[in-house]
Structure 1
Amino acid sequence: MPHFDLPLDELRTYRPDLPEPDDFDEFWAKTLTEARRHDIAARFVPVDVPLAGVDVFDVTFAGFGGHPVKGWLVLPAGTTEPIPAVVEYIGYGHGRGLPHMHLLWATAGYAHFVMDTRGQGSNADAQGDTADPVGSGPSAPGFMTRGVEDPHDYYYRRVFTDAVRAVEAARSHPLIDAGRVAAIGESQGGGITLAVGGLVPDLVAIVSDVPFLCDFPRGATLTDKLPYREIAFYLKARRGHEDRTFRTLSYFDGVHFAARGRAPALFSTALEDQTCPPSTVFAAFNAYSGRERAMEVYRFNGHEGGGFYQKGVQLRWLPQYLNG
């Protein structure tokens, strides 16, 4: 696919006029206060895996509404003292998968906490184990419009709350240094990472690769690829609901969370990415309020972005903050 979005020099200055709800901060403060009324109750059950270099734990903790959320914790084998941690959020439709899929950060010497995404995980290679017990009104297939009639009912209110609680669960483990925790994610995981970066003020760094869930109005109208297209499918059937729908989505836009982020941040985008168009990524990057931020641009890639090359960039960039 050739370049289809704005030229790179325009992307670097792209700042959409996105209305922000007046009660955005109040909404999220109340949401997290309600979630914290439930004991985090994090449980870490050792898992016997035929891997010599790591110790693996099956994790369960209380997320939104006290609902049980699953995850993995992977530690370098034989860890006896608290070490820095990377908390990871995963891509759209995927679940936590299997432990041997998550070895990179433990082999680099860090604790690796992987959060399962509620209700997702039907992918054959990355199954999920976390239910979403909350229903919703009419929606298009997928997750983008579940509960979109009201921000209190919207699906990603639950997911973003789970994600903040995942940081809290990770910090509760005795072998994790609670003062040296970073958040990381790709695509949907990158969007969740931006939300966590805006809601958790003391992360040491965030890494958001080809992030989804940013600049919803542009994503819903620029690309015909899923998942943004789910919004268009919903509005095709729900004529006249545009204003209410985009008002709900404004409470969950990565651009608004980026404006509240303070930790050093590494972003990446790809100029042929039709799933998460580069302008939506730059909208968040250009809004990011942290003083230290960097963007990796892959000119001839699609939604795969930098792939394993970007992992190499992360391995060089993130330790300067985790090891500080």
Structure 2
Amino acid sequence: MPLFDKPLSELREYRPERVEEPDFDTFWERTLDQAREFPLDVVFEAYDAALSLVDVYDVRYSGWGGHRIAGWFMVPSGATEPLPAVVHYIGYGGGRGLPHDWLATAAAGYATFVMDTRGQGSNGSPGDTPDPVGGANPQTPGFMTRGVLDPEDYYYRRVFTDAVRAVEAAASHPLVDSERIVIAGGSQGGGITQAVAALVPGLAGAMLDVPFLTGYRRATEIVDTMPYGEITKYLSIHRDHEETVFRTLSYFDGTNLAPRCTAPALYSVALMDTTCPPSTIFGAYNYYAGPKEIRVWAYNKHEGGQTFQTRERLLWLRDLFKNEAAER
């Protein structure tokens, strides 16, 4: 696939018009207040992952609606003092998989928390968290239109809330330094990271690779790939729901969340990405309110930088905490 979106020089300056509802902030404040009516009730249970250098725990905690969310927690064996931590969110369709899938940050010396994504985990990696709430409207296959006629019912209201609670669950462990938590994810996980960076104050950093869930309307206008294509397909049938759908999506759009983010951030983007078009990513990145950097992979699609980007993330994390220590 050749370059199809705006030239890089334009992408670096691209700021699309933002459309957000006047109750955007109160919607999210009320959502999180409702979630916190349920005890977090975190359980860390030792898990035999056959890893001699990393201690692994199966995690369960209460997310949106008090629903039990699964996860993994890992720390370098022998750790006795609180560590910086990385909370990971997962790409579309995937689940938490197995602990050895998440060793990079643990091997680098960080506490590592992985959140399972409710209702997902049957595409690529297995998951263990059901979504006991169904959308109120008919939907296309997938998750993008589940409950899309009302922000109160929308699927990602539950997921973003689970993700906020994941930070709280990680912070509850005695081997986590709650003032040094970084959140991270790619694709859907990057979109979730962007939301959590907007909704949780005091984070040490955020790492967002080829983030999904941002610039919904533009994405549906310039690509026909899934998962944004789920929205297109839905609207091709439900022709009278366009404004209602995009009103709901505005509460979950990274372009509206980014101006509320203040933690230092590392983004990545792939210029040939027809799943998450570069302009949707730069549209959010350019609005991001905190200190930020972006790695550009010129000849890649949605795989982005892959292992090269993993190295960039580890270097960025090392520098982040080194600089923070120097400032203390």
TM-score by length of 1: 0.98
Q: Deviations over 1:166-190 (max 9, x none)?
A: 0000000111111110000000000
Q: Aligned equivalents of 1:133 and 1:74: distance in 2?
A: 27
- Is the CA contact 1:79–1:175 (under 8 Å) kept in the aligned structure 2? yes
2:219 and 2:79 mapped to 1: Cα distance?
43
Tell me the residue number matched to 2:150. Answer: 150
| Alpha-carbon separation, structure 2, partners of 1:319 and 1:203 | 16
For residues 39-54 of structure 1, the aligned pairs below 5 Å read: 39-54=39-54
**In the alignment, structure 1 residue 277 sits paired with structure 2 residue 277:** yes
Q: Which one-letter code corresponds to 1:275 in the other structure? A: T
- The residue type equivalent to 1:138 in the other structure is P
Residue of structure 2 in register with 1:37 after alignment: 37
Provide the rounded CA distance (Å) in 1 between the counterparts of 2:309 and 2:113.
20
1:126 aligned residue: 125
Counterpart code for 1:118? R
Distance between the aligned counterparts of 1:107 and 1:94, measured in 2? Answer: 22
Q: What runs of 5+ residues in structure 1 fail to find an aligned partner?
A: none
Give the secondary-structure state (helix, strand or coil) at the position aligned to 2:239. coil
Aligned residue type for 1:197: A
Aligned partners of 1:318 and 1:253: how far apart in 2?
26
Cα contact 1:181–1:322 (8 A) shared by 2: no
**Structure 1 CA distance for aligned equivalents of residues 35 and 2 of structure 2:** 44
Name the residue aligned to 1:305.
304
| Structure 2 runs not aligned, ≥5 long | none
Say which SS state the counterpart of residue 287 (structure 1) adopts: coil
CA distance in 2 between counterparts of 1:322 and 1:115 reads 23
Residue 216, structure 1, aligned to residue 216, structure 2: yes
Letter paired with 1:191? G
Instruction: Using the TM superposition, name which of 13-22 and 280-289 deviates more.
Output: 13-22
CA contact 1:216–1:253 (8 Å) conserved in 2: yes
How far residue 56 of structure 1 moved from its aligned partner, in angstroms, is: 0.3
For residues 234 and 319 of structure 1, what CA distance do their matches in structure 2 show?
44
Question: What's 1:256 paired with?
Answer: 256
Q: How far is the alpha carbon of 1:81 from its aligned partner? A: 1.2
Instruction: Look up the SS of the partner of 1:233 in the other structure.
Output: helix
Q: Measure how far apart 1:52 and its partner are.
A: 1.2
Per the alignment, in what secondary structure is the counterpart of residue 130 of structure 1?
coil
User: Are the equivalent residues in 2 in contact too, given 1:182–1:322 (CA < 8 A)?
Assistant: no
Do the aligned residues in 2 keep the contact of 1:274 with 1:302 (CA within 8 Å)? yes
Q: Which residue of 2 aligns with 1:322?
A: 321
Alpha-carbon offset, residue 319 of structure 1? 2.2
The list of structure 1 runs, each at least 4 consecutive aligned residues, that deviate by more than 6 angstroms after superposition, is none
What residue in structure 2 maps to residue 199 of structure 1?
199
Q: Which residue of 2 aligns with 1:108?
A: 108
Q: Distance in 2 between matches of 1:60 and 1:49?
A: 17
Contact 1:149 1:245 in 2 (8 A): yes
Is the 8 Å Cα contact of residues 210 and 268 (structure 1) preserved in structure 2?
A: yes
Superposed CA deviations along residues 268-292 of structure 1, whole A, max 9, x for unmatched, are 00000000000000011001011x1
Q: Which residue of 1 aligns with 2:242?
A: 242
Query: What residue identity is the alignment partner of 2:320?
Result: Y
Distance 1:112 1:276 in 2: 26
Residue identity matched to 1:219: A
Conserved 8 A contact 1:18-1:215: no
Q: Which residue is 1:288 aligned to?
A: 288
Shift of 1:320: 2.7
1:206-236 residue CA offsets vs partner (Å, 9 max, x unmatched): 0000000001100111111100000000001
**What is the count of residue pairs matched by the alignment?**
322
Match of 1:259, SS state, is helix
Conserved in 2, the CA contact under 8 Å of 1:96 and 1:127? yes
Whether 1:59 aligns to 2:50 is: no
CA RMSD across the alignment: 0.7
In 1, the alpha carbon distance for the partners of 2:220 and 2:2 equals 20
Q: Which amino acid aligns with 2:281?
A: V
> Is the aligned partner of 1:7 residue 2:7?
yes
Q: Aligned partners of 1:62 and 1:168: how far apart in 2? A: 10
How far is the alpha carbon of 1:322 from its aligned partner? 3.5
What SS does the aligned partner of 1:240 have? helix
State how far apart, in whole Å, the 2-side matches of 1:319 and 1:220 are: 37
| Corresponding letter in the other structure for 1:296 | R
% same residue = 57
> Is 1:97 the equivalent of 2:92?
no
